[in-house]
């Protein structure tokens, strides 16, 4: 439903009126977007949620669902090994059954390479299964991250994830 408020501007009703933006909520350029904030949820230990939160921004909630006050948009993180893909599928099932906290939106699964190179066929089939039910972003093996160096730009192959999260990436050099 769309109405006009007392100030003369449009107001959109979703579940009540949309609050006007707080002063300073947008960058100075009128066309600039404020990056969407996410909670990174690890499907299993060692998934890489902490690294991704540091590289792309957002809230690292570890293996716990986001708490009230944390960003409600969730990016589920798993490694591309058999256990990681199975853990991602189990977590998706929990979400699908409505057993996750209310108000959360599981926006995508982010699969972090567990080793350099191509996936073996059984693992690639697991990835295709995930892709059939949810958006999937792939993060390649990054040797520098293994050594704890998170200073470089995100891998170029993750450009869609970089755009989604609003992370800064300078691939010029």
In a domain, 31, yes or no: no
Distance from C-alpha of 75 to C-alpha of 66, rounded to nearest angstrom: 11
Taking only the tens place, the pLDDT of each residue in 10-48 is: 333 333 333 443 443 333 333 444 456 899 999 999 999
In a domain, 58, yes or no: yes
* Secondary-structure percent of the chain, ordered helix, strand, coil, rounded to 5: 30, 20, 55
Total of domains in the chain = 1
- Strand runs (DSSP E) across the chain, as ranges? 2-4, 10-12, 39-42, 59-60, 73-79, 105-112, 136-139
The pLDDT, as a whole number, for residue 167 is 84
The pLDDT, as a whole number, for residue 36 is 67
In a domain, 82, yes or no: yes
Strand partners, 108: 75
**Enclosing H/E stretch for 103:** none
pTM: 0.78
Going by C-alpha positions, the residue among 123, 115, 121 that lies closest to residue 139 is 115
For residue 138, what are the domain limits?
Answer: 38-165
In a domain, 78, yes or no: yes
In a domain, 11, yes or no: no
Per-residue pLDDT of the chain (173 residues; tens, 9 = 90+): 434 444 443 333 333 333 443 443 333 333 444 456 899 999 999 999 999 999 999 999 999 999 999 999 999 999 999 999 999 999 999 999 999 999 999 999 999 999 999 999 999 999 999 999 999 999 999 999 999 999 988 999 999 999 999 887 776 55
In a domain, 159, yes or no: yes
């Amino acid at each position: 439903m769309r109405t006009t408020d007392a100030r003369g501007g449009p107001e959109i009703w979703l579940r009540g009126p949309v609050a006007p933006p707080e002063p300073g909520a947008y960058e100075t350029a009128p066309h600039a977007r404020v990056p969407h904030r996410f909670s990174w949820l690890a499907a299993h230990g060692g998934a890489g949620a902490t690294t991704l939160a540091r590289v792309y921004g957002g809230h690292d909630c570890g293996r716990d669902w986001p708490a009230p006050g944390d960003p409600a948009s969730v990016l589920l993180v798993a490694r591309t090994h058999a256990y990681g893909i199975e853990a991602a599928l189990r977590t998706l099932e929990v979400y699908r059954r409505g057993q996750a906290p209310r108000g959360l939106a599981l926006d995508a699964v982010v699969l972090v390479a567990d080793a350099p190179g191509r996936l073996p066929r059984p693992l690639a089939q697991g990835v295709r299964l995930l892709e059939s039910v949810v958006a999937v972003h792939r993060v390649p093996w990054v040797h520098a991250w293994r050594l704890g160096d998170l200073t470089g730009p995100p891998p170029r192959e993750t450009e869609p994830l970089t755009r989604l999260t609003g992370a800064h990436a300078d691939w010029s050099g």
